[in-house]
Structure 1
Amino acid sequence: MDLILPFKVGDAVETRSYNVGYRGAWFRCKITDMCIRSGHMECQVEYIDYPDERRKWNRLFKIPPKCRNQKASQNREIMLRPPFPRWCWENDIAELGPQTDVVAVVSSRWKVGDLIDWWYTDCFWTGKITELMSDDKVKIICPEIPLGEGGCWVADPKDLRPALDWSLEKGWSAPLSQCYKSFFEYQRTHF
């Protein structure tokens, strides 16, 4: 069966990083070229929020770093996804009107335990809300190495969006991958 990718040169996408210092981050990019190199499908991307960064070739599929609870025979994961869908709070739907193209609706304001993407240093970091500090501050925790850079952070809620997964088969979905669920369950029971 042939693999049909929904991406083409010129598309806006987000690309994931496992590079040290940016593990677990998603970057907004534009595809500038695609080809098969050394037997692997690759794309060249231009980083939207890092205009001085040179264009880089990235494999479309990689084996993610191993988590404690994962088997060694891990499947490859896609490293690109479409731009994050528009989203809104459930009580804001009426204000958007019937012709809106919102595809994700969040039922309640942020709460402890919510899985989020946090806009920080011009990229999105996956994390989990651990404390509501005030109307304009929440505490979040990011996955530890090898899936993220780790750490607890104070964030402004306006810099958060709900965390979603994307796959070729299902499109956008929630919740996050089992590895992140395992990481956060470990954090909850050991800290």
Structure 2
Amino acid sequence: MAGKQIATAKLPNYQKLKVKFPSSGPAAIQLVESQHKLYFEAGDNIEVLCQDSGMRGCWFRCKILRVSEKCLKVQYDDILDCDGPEKLEEWIPSYRVANPDKLGTRCTGRLTVRPRPLEDSSDCSIEVGAAVDAWWSDGWWEGFVVEYDVFGSGHLHIYFPGENRTLEIERKNVRISRDWIDDKWVEVKVKKCIKSSISSSSSCDSTSSSMF
């Protein structure tokens, strides 16, 4: 395609059995391949999930500069290159499955690369246990609301399962969290027992801290 490059990310292919039951005679069994694809173009605005220690569960905003069959060259919106004043650029996998989350609330098989959410959900009502992304330290961190309107300040206490920590965040810096699966945004279920889940996680991680 002239003037455009497209990167295709293929999800794992699994063979499925299709069984036909005729009116007479033995059943016929046919192997059927399942394929799903994600398409990215140079110039697309996306988010990339970090899973490195200290930044687990953080989505960074970036723009695609170049594409290849298996990788994307991106420029980060909010991260500067340590060797200069320019924005950081690097190659990342166009297909990588995110690690399972500790609380088991996220969609299985989601990727670490996704389109940037189009709508701002900062005005949506939020309840305790709601899955949210909190803007902090140059990225959107996946978390759950533990408490809202802290001491009448309008702030929220957000628990970040990726790092097993809690932080007080201004309401304006919080958005509803969703997963990108099969080319659509999927709601993340409310974790109503979030406080007991935090206690359980903390008891298994002696190095966790209550605040950043």
1:54 to 88, 91, 100: 88
Distance 1:55-1:10 versus aligned 2 partners, 3 A rule: same
What corresponds to 2:128 in structure 1? Answer: 112
Counterpart-to-counterpart distance in 2, 1:55 and 1:121 = 18
CA contact (8 A) 2:146 2:195 kept: no
Counterpart-to-counterpart distance in 2, 1:79 and 1:157 = 26
Q: CA deviation at 1:69?
A: 8.4
Q: Kindly indicate which of the two structures has a greater share of residues assigned to strand.
A: 2
Letter in 2 for 1:172: W
CA contact (8 A) 1:136 1:156 kept: yes
Aligned pairs for 1:1-191 within 5 A: 4-36=37-69, 41-52=70-81, 53-65=87-99, 76-88=109-121, 106=124, 109-132=125-148, 133=150, 134-143=152-161, 148-167=162-181, 169-175=182-188, 184=194, 187=197, 190=200
Segments of 4+ moved more than 6 angstroms: none
CA contact (8 A) 1:49 1:122 kept: yes
Counterpart-to-counterpart distance in 2, 1:129 and 1:49 = 25
What corresponds to 1:103 in structure 2? Answer: none
CA contact (8 A) 2:146 2:194 kept: no
SS at match of 2:197: helix
CA contact (8 A) 2:128 2:146 kept: yes
The unaligned stretches of length 5 or more in structure 1 are 93-105
Distance 1:3-1:111 versus aligned 2 partners, 3 A rule: closer
What corresponds to 1:100 in structure 2? Answer: none
CA contact (8 A) 2:179 2:186 kept: yes
Between the two proteins, what is the percent identity of the paired residues?
25
Letter in 2 for 1:48: D
CA contact (8 A) 1:119 1:160 kept: yes
SS at match of 1:158: helix
CA contact (8 A) 2:121 2:176 kept: no
1:98-136 deviations in whole A, cap 9, x for unaligned? xxxxxxxx4xx2221111000000100010111121242
